[in-house]
Structure 1
Amino acid sequence: MNMQHRWIGAMALSSFIMSSAMTVPAFGGDVLTEVLREKGVISKEDWIRIEADREKQAAGYGEQKKSKDTPTIPFWSKKGFGFKTEDGKWQTSLQWRFQGRFTYPDRSDEDTFGDFNDNPEATFELRRVRMKIGGHGYQPWIKYYFEVDLQSTANSGGSAGSTRVIDWRIDLAKYKAFTIRVGQWKINYNRERVDSSGKQTFVERSIVNSVFTIDRQVGVLVMGRLFPGKIYDVNYYVGVFTGSGRGEANDDDKLMYMARIQWNIFGRELAWKQSDLKYHEQPAASLAFGAYTNVGKCTRWSSGGCGTLVQTRSIGGAFTSDGTAADSQFKTQGMVEEFAMKWRGLAIQHEFHWKQINDQGAGVGLKGFTGTASVVPSQTNLMGSYSQASYFPHYLVPAIPKPLEVAFRYAFVDPNVFASNDTLREYTVAFNWFFAGHRNKITVDVSHLSLDMPMAAAITEQRGRLQWDVSF
């Protein structure tokens, strides 16, 4: 009988071991082992060993399941709707943005005599309709972001209704003092351009932007913040780029080089956005200087990529290729001085730009003694600046609604420093009503634009714009 019991016990134990290898019990005890122990088939010591082994296998199985199938958590933030894993290693956010605009009498800035004398236009347009996706993967400091423009217009750098990827980048941001960014984005050269069009105080950037920005480029940037909170708190940016602008491959072996140094005056860093929506109790301000140099066919950059200035060269004529040195015809370099401050509802922002274009294929000079014509390089110096201030009058007069902001901007562009009576000027007054900060706002601005004319009075034009900007 004992032999029979031992045989039954051995068979049951073997069966249990095999089944345990294939499945994990979902409850604390096991009926079979309890019965065998009660019948005396297995000893108490055997039962303890079996239970310990079963718990060990269950724990290992649970860890394996968790590593293969990490639960995700839905959430909403200022960056949109998204998902993230419980361990914090993966996160992605999706945001949609709509910007509808009405303008009269022109959609874009008046840059030339012809712009001031064209037919008036009353236009409603979807100026920007965009999808933004960003987050991190593998580790919280491996960040990614890309942005798609779904409804660009002709004056925003694309054909009407075209879809295009405007930003794509990866940040290796484990250390605040040393971050590496690769991809395509608005280069951290000057604040007005880097500030999102959805986080501006005015309907659009100043007349300075189209002439002096280096806009989006493809390349690599090293940046960081040093000595945070100290009197010598600084941000630095150093990068190398193709110089061909958004969505274009480099057409030569030359590269663009850029550097920026920013002093955070009070030891507090200003975000890349306009208007003092947060109401800074303590002043936050920055003073920055930037510079770049590039050799190529571009004399300006925009959302459309590499472009050509509409202004004329110092020797007259347009900045166009002569057909012989197109790939590296223009050496373009620039510098910027920038100041920004926010304090108790007041926001101030200013930039001064200088730009020089050396055209190595500019034209043909007089014939020398040899009877052959020589190429005369052309050097054109451009200068421009804007200053703007905005304020929430509620903080001065409580009866005024808190969501209302008023702003004023002055800007000028001198397309040829050594020529006179050719300066373009802008005076703009703006009013903002914030429903949910920059994520939902209505902006109205009115501009007085003028262009100095040689031997004649300046020509002028007034422009009005109404815009609703929503992100969700």
Structure 2
Amino acid sequence: MTVLLGVSGTGSPVWASQEDTHLRLQALEEKIEAMQKKHRMASRNPSGLDLANKVVAADSNDDYLRVKYKYPGFELKTRDGLFSTKLNWRAQLRYTNPNRSDPRSLSDFLTREDKSNFELRRVRMKIGGHGYKKWIKYYFEIDLQPSREFDDPNGNDRARVIDWRIDVQPWEELGIRVGQWKINFNRERVDSSGRQTFVERSIVNRVFTIDRQVGAMLQGRLFKETPADLRYYAGIFNGEGRATNNENGEHMYMGRAQWNFLGRDLKWRQSDVKGHDKPTGSLAFGYATNNGNCTRWSSSGCGNLAALDKATAATPDQFRIKQWVQEFAFKYKGLAIQQEYHHKEVEDKSNVLTHDYQGMYAQIGYTNHGALPVPEGLELAFRYAYLLEPRNDTQLDRNRREEYTVALNYFIAGHNNKLTVDYSYLTLDDFASGLEVSDNRIRLQWDISF
């Protein structure tokens, strides 16, 4: 059965099936419903008219939201480019013998038990992107159940949010960051563990890092691509470490000035994986001060240095910390150099004592980009570090630790997929006993991102 719908321009009838008529009516109803939805949204939020338009567009246009794989990770992005989200995963698989961490005391060197250990050192999920404006960016990082000791039923084996931050950077010269992240104090700590030259950071890191904090920071780049090219960072934080509320009315203050003396900026990562065609370097100085119960920080939060009261036993404002860092970094055609010198003063107001810490590391690496008759993407690197730290209450009674590490990297896909093997010779000059002890360590690691 058919129905007459109309007459053509020539006077001949136009016939259509009932099924075709039904489809046309259904399409018309969907358009009306979309218009009503748009009207309801605009009525509830007149200023959200543009958003309503985008919702209708998304309903009627299948490619409004685009999904693609952008190595490493998957990216969701709106057609207008105003909203984006990128998700990727990272795993760090490591073998160590005989020490998992750096030996720090005389007993660590003399009485340690050899351990041949495989571990899932880091498993991370990263989510980042921008919204509303391309200069409003966000980032989250979740640590997913790292390895733990066999006799630790709880430990740090639970998933935890280690980074969450929002950057508002309308101008390159001035912006603000709020949230929780590794504070921009020194390169070795801010450089991701997945963007390092060696399997792990140097012996200097544990004592001097101010690590992750909760707070706000101004940042910007001035005099871009000139001999005066300068990056600056100035922030105020709780000073209690990761995911912790402030215990008193005091705050941590931090400032960093980075001079890009060749007019080109260096990213927060080690090794010259891509090979800089032009020499690129930076000279930086940083300063931080805090008044509280912490004397060191890590990804686990607030902690204490040896010979000082634990944070849980200290008063909220027992320790006044003043520390500064000098830093140098340089990359050119596969060559990568990085160096830091640290000084840290810890005033113990309860015991009327001042403890002084000094440390330095310097490292150099060369990645082959076809200049040598060896596989491209192969890097050889060396690092030296020393640390002077008080053993007890006497300032002259200070132990000296040293590290000599050589590493070999093979970059399969840059830092996103690489194999690293390094060997360390670690020493301790113990002031009290007069003993000089040493140990060896080898580590093998596969770091991969998806």
CA shift, 1:322, in A, is: 9.8
- Pair 1:91–1:457, CA change in 2 (3 A): same
In the superposition, relative to structure 1, how do residues 338 and 78 fare at CA in structure 2: closer, same or farther (>3 Å)? farther
* Aligned-partner residue type, residue 390 of structure 1: G
Flag the structure with larger Rg.
1
How far residue 281 of structure 1 moved from its aligned partner, in angstroms, is: 1.1
Displacement of 1:149 in angstroms is 0.3
1:193 equivalent in structure 2: 189
Alignment counterpart, residue 249 of structure 1, candidates 242, 245, 248: 245
**Corresponding residue for residue 16 of structure 1:** none
State whether structure 2 residue 119 is matched by structure 1 residue 145. no
- 1:109 maps to a residue whose letter is D
Measure the CA separation in 2 of the matches of 1:389 and 1:395: 19
Is the 8 Å Cα contact of residues 304 and 311 (structure 2) preserved in structure 1? no
Question: Residues of 1 paired with 2:237 and 2:430: CA distance?
Answer: 38
Query: Is 1:77 aligned with 2:70?
Result: yes
Partner of 2:86: 93
Q: Any residues of structure 2 matched to 1:210-249 within 5 Å, and which? A: 210-249=206-245
1:152 touches 1:159 (CA, 8 Å); kept in 2?
Answer: no
Give the Cα–Cα distance (whole angstroms) in 1 for the partners of residues 397 and 316 of structure 2.
31
State the one-letter code of the partner of 1:378.
L
Matched residues in 2 for 1:187 and 1:297: separation? Answer: 19
- 1:382-397 residue pairs with structure 2 within 5 A? 382-393=357-368, 395-397=370-372
1:347 paired residue number: 336
* In structure 1, distance between residues paired with 2:114 and 2:55: 63
Q: Which amino acid aligns with 1:330?
A: F
Taking only aligned residues, the RMSD between alpha carbons, in angstroms, comes to 2.5
Shift of the 337–226 alpha-carbon distance from structure 1 to 2, 3 Å rule, reads same
For 1:301, the equivalent position in structure 2 comes to 297
Indicate the residue corresponding to 1:428 in structure 2.
405
Whether the 8 Å contact between 1:150 and 1:164 is mirrored in structure 2 is yes
Q: How much has 1:252 moved relative to structure 2?
A: 1.2
Partners of 1:142 and 1:340 lie apart in 2 by 29
Conserved? CA contact 1:129–1:150, under 8 Å: yes
- TM-score between both structures, scaled by the size of structure 1: 0.80
| Structure-1 separation of matches of 2:189 and 2:114 | 28
* Cα deviation 1:408-428 (Å, max 9, x = unaligned): 000011013942561010000
Matched, 1:334 2:328: no
Q: Say whether residues 1:445 and 2:422 are aligned partners.
A: yes
- Structure-1 separation of matches of 2:192 and 2:349: 35
Q: Which runs of 5+ in 2 are unaligned?
A: 13-27, 39-49, 59-63
Residues 294 and 311, structure 2, Cα contact 8 Å, conserved in 1: no
Give the deviation of 1:153 after TM superposition.
3.6
Offset at residue 191 of structure 1 (A): 0.4
What is the SS of the residue equivalent to 1:140? strand
What is aligned with 2:56? 68
| Equivalent position SS for 2:188 | helix
104-113 or 188-197: bigger deviation: 104-113
Q: Does residue 1:378 correspond to 2:372, yes or no?
A: no
Contact 1:141-1:172 at 8 Å conserved across structures: yes
The alignment's TM-score, normalised by the length of structure 2, stands at: 0.84
Aligned length: 400
Inter-partner Cα distance in structure 1 for 2:267 and 2:397: 38
Give 1:409's aligned residue: 383
Where in structure 1 are there 5+ consecutive unaligned residues? 1-30, 39-53, 313-317, 363-376
Task: Point out the structure with the larger strand share.
Answer: 2
Contact kept, 8 Å, 1:321 with 1:329, in 2: the verdict is: no
Q: Percent identity over the alignment?
A: 49
Aligned partner letter, 1:459: V
Distance 1:250 1:322, change over 3 A: closer
Cα distance in 2 between the residues matched to 1:228 and 1:182: 24
Contact persistence 2:303–2:311 (CA under 8 A):
no
Q: What is the alpha-carbon distance in structure 1 between the residues aligned to residue 190 and residue 311 of structure 2?
A: 29
1-structure distance, mates of 2:238, 2:271: 33
- 2:145 partner amino acid: Q
